[in-house]
Amino acid sequence: MDSKELNYALPKNQLQEMQMAFENGDFIQAAENIKKSIIGINDIPLNIAVTGESGSGKSTFINVIRGLGDEDEGSAKTGVVETTVVATPYSHPHHRNVKYWDLPGIGTTRFEPNKYLDLVKLTQFDFFLIIASERFRDCHIQLARAINSMGKKFYFVRSKIDADLSAFRRQRKSNYNEEQILREIRNNCIKGLHDGGIMCPRVFLLSCLELEKYDFYLMQKTFENELPGHKRHVFLLSLPNIYFQALESKRDALRNQIWKHALASAGKASIPIPGFSADNDIDLLVNTMKEYKEAFGLDEISLNCLAKTFDKDIHDLRSVIKHKLVLKEITHDLVVNLLKRRELTAAALMVTDYAAGTVPLLGSMAAGVVAFGTAYWLLYSFLKDIAEDAGRVLSRALENTI
């Protein structure tokens, strides 16, 4: 490890945040406060309403955005005629507080947007997605206006783009131009919304069969930029691992939080190297490492879903994972053994030394600080390895599909 890597592993802005957490000069208290804040992250609710005409692909979208196939446990039923008028929440498999709500289909002759919105208890949603396939219709405008009038945000999703493109491919044969067709579809939606009195509408073109293509990344980035900070983090972690930018965004978001997990797990430590005394602290590390695995889709369930999505063999996907630790089940004993490794202790001391340059209190502490460096380096290296392996798995999954 050299100073460049240290600089990367512990960015200055993170150290400054840590310095602020230490302002009252109490290591144990700072660790306790941080622990509360990281546990609280799992309680942050994110409710996204998915609405649109029956058959537009709402249920399919709700499944794929949660990394699920139509037949997986917890998936929404697709391809069925909607008879219910009840909004149904679907939780993300790893982030139970991230919920996508399957709203009853609009567009029937009896459709009355305001009543519809009353029905779905508008206020609990962070934002709305209006999903439309095929033609732009008046009911979309009515719904968009009703959502706007209640001060809520909506995004317009034009779905089933794969089907449009293959229809055009047949029709236009010699002068088929994908970019131009996508532009035409986008402009048609924007114009429709604009003519209906919606200023600056946000339109995304998607295919649930090829989620990684078209505007999915742009859509994700837009949500990310427009959500408040605490919700942005959970949203990011809940994204499906089907394109490389998602992996990078997750790695960066998680890396920015390492100091908190390291501090919280080290807070109680009272003995020197390896510096961990209470089981509690180790459990926090175990849980964090498990969360990393799930966030990058390398747990068994997620790998299975990825294999199905891209029609690959799970053993084949697993075979490209390079770091042995990534394949192992993360247990208490495993983490205890990792913490005892000598090279980790050496790295821990360098981390502590480096961090103490910005956070002087760290330098003046004894055991807890070594534990901090140990935990930091363990999480940092694991995150780095797992992000690399997730990239390899995705490359293998995408082979021969583009």
Ligand X SMILES: Nc1nc2c(ncn2[C@@H]2O[C@H](COP(=O)(O)OP(=O)(O)O)[C@@H](O)[C@H]2O)c(=O)[nH]1
> DSSP secondary-structure letter at 53?
B
Cβ neighbourhood burial of 52 (10 Å; 0-12, 13-18, 19+): buried
Residue 196 binding: pick among ligand X, Mg ion, none (C-beta 5-8 Å cut-off by kind): none
Contact between residue 137 and residue 53 where contact means Cβ atoms under 8 Å apart: yes
Compare residues 140 and 250 and give the one whose CB is closer to Mg ion. 140
Compare residues 7 and 166 and give the one whose CB is closer to ligand X. 166
Longest dimension (CA), the chain: 74
> DSSP secondary-structure letter at 112?
-
> What is the nearest approach in angstroms of Mg ion to the Cβ of residue 102?
6
The reply on whether position 63 binds Mg ion by CB under 5 A is: no
Structure tokens at 189: 């939606």
> What is the nearest approach in angstroms of ligand X to the Cβ of residue 324?
38
Contact between residue 338 and residue 348 where contact means Cβ atoms under 8 Å apart: no
Question: Which of 229, 226, 235 lies closest to 65, judged by CA?
Answer: 235
Compare residues 108 and 337 and give the one whose CB is closer to ligand X. 108
Residue 56 binding: pick among ligand X, Mg ion, none (C-beta 5-8 Å cut-off by kind): ligand X
Integer angstrom CA distances of residue 313 from 2, 127, 176, 301: 39, 37, 34, 14
Compare residues 131 and 263 and give the one whose CB is closer to Mg ion. 131
Please choose, out of 51-59, 250-258, 305-313, 390-398, the segment that lies near Mg ion by the rule CB under 5 A.
51-59
From 14, 51, 56, 59, residue interacting with Mg ion (rule: CB under 5 A): 59
Please choose, out of 59-67, 117-125, 231-239, 240-248, the segment that lies near Mg ion by the rule CB under 5 A.
59-67
Residue 159 binding: pick among ligand X, Mg ion, none (C-beta 5-8 Å cut-off by kind): ligand X
Compare residues 51 and 59 and give the one whose CB is closer to Mg ion. 59
Compare residues 56 and 288 and give the one whose CB is closer to ligand X. 56
Residue 38 binding: pick among ligand X, Mg ion, none (C-beta 5-8 Å cut-off by kind): none
Distance CA 273, CA 282 (A): 14
Rg (C-alpha) for the chain, rounded Å, is: 24
Please choose, out of 14-22, 58-66, 130-138, 349-357, the segment that lies near Mg ion by the rule CB under 5 A.
58-66
Distance CA 209, CA 196 (A): 30
Binding site for Mg ion (CB under 5 A): 59
